[in-house]
């Protein structure tokens, strides 16, 4: 089963300082039929305008992944971590027993564009932690590059879930394949460009919710950037 959801079907909120698209129920958007996909609970595509940001707020028992596409995101948390997430950098925050953090646009002139995903953990009450890593463009060119896993994959950031997050940049006419284990789910988001998912076309801003597909063939129609999740 492959369910394609186009960009315009996402829930959009514009608060002046923030323009965001929510893939699942979040904040004032509530749809009991759209709460999650497997362990993926939140997928938000955010643009924070200069001077804007999220003040300190708490999280608990959630694995939070952030990927910056453009601009710079300033991060602070109750563990004492401070820093700036630049384009191409990925960040993981395991909330565990509780963590408070803030995220701001680091620039006074340019917006910051980021994606943030929340994944449900296998175990509640773990010790909170934070990691960040830079991904070079050539590392994800022409392949599915794992950047987050349960810790079993080398050079990935670790989360407490049997899930893997991949990034990829495919030139027009290039393709990659993924073979799934029985009973698994997958989730695909086209950041930029357009591609065929098992010969079904998906354009920028579109998502695919996938289950029971033993093999996926992703073929770029135009130069494309994508984010792909292998989920329990």
The pLDDT tens digits for 222-231 are 999 999 999 9
Q: What is the pLDDT of residue 26?
A: 97
The pLDDT tens digits for 61-76 are 999 999 999 999 999 9
Q: Mean pLDDT across the chain, nearest whole number?
A: 97
The pLDDT tens digits for 119-145 are 999 999 999 999 999 999 999 999 999
- SS3 call for 9: helix
Q: Are 167 and 145 in contact (CB under 8 A)?
A: yes
**Sign, CA torsion 39/195/22/5:** negative
Contacts of 140 (CB under 8 A, 6+ apart): 167, 168, 169
What are φ and ψ of residue 219, in 5° steps?
-120, 120
Q: What is the pLDDT of residue 68?
A: 97
The pLDDT tens digits for 148-178 are 999 999 999 999 999 999 999 999 999 999 9
Total number of domains in the chain: 1
Distance in angstroms between the alpha carbons of the first and the last residue of the chain: 15
How many CB atoms are located within 10 Å of the residue 84 CB? Answer: 15
Q: What is the pLDDT of residue 135?
A: 94
CATH number at residue 168: 2.60.120.10
Q: Are 48 and 17 in contact (CB under 8 A)?
A: yes
The pLDDT tens digits for 16-39 are 999 999 999 999 999 999 999 999
Percent of the chain with pLDDT over 90: 98
The pLDDT tens digits for 90-116 are 999 999 999 999 999 999 999 999 999
The residue segments making up the domain with residue 48 are 2-231
Q: What is the pLDDT of residue 88?
A: 92
pLDDT band, very low/low/confident/very high, at 217 (cuts 50, 70, 90): very high
């Amino acid at each position: 089963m492959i369910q394609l959801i186009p960009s315009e079907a996402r829930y959009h909120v514009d608060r002046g300082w923030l323009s965001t698209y929510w893939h699942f129920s979040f904040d004032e958007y509530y749809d009991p039929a759209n709460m999650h996909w497997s362990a993926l609970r939140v997928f938000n595509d955010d643009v924070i305008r200069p001077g804007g940001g999220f003040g300190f707020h708490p999280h608990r028992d959630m694995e939070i992944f952030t990927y910056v596409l453009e601009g710079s995101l300033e991060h602070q948390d109750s563990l004492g971590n401070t820093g700036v997430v630049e384009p191409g950098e990925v960040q993981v925050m395991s909330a565990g027993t509780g963590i408070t953090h803030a995220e701001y646009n680091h620039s006074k002139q340019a917006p910051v564009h980021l994606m943030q995903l929340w994944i449900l953990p296998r175990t509640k009450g773990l010790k909170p932690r934070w990691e960040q890593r830079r991904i070079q463009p050539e590392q994800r060119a022409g392949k599915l590059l794992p950047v987050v896993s349960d810790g079993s994959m080398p050079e990935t950031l670790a989360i407490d879930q049997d899930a893997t997050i991949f990034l990829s940049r495919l030139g027009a006419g290039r393709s990659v394949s993924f073979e799934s284990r029985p009973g698994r789910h997958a989730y695909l988001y086209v950041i930029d460009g357009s591609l065929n998912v098992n010969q079904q076309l998906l354009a920028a801003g579109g998502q695919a919710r996938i289950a029971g597909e033993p093999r996926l063939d992703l073929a770029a129609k135009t130069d494309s950037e994508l984010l792909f999740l292998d989920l329990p």
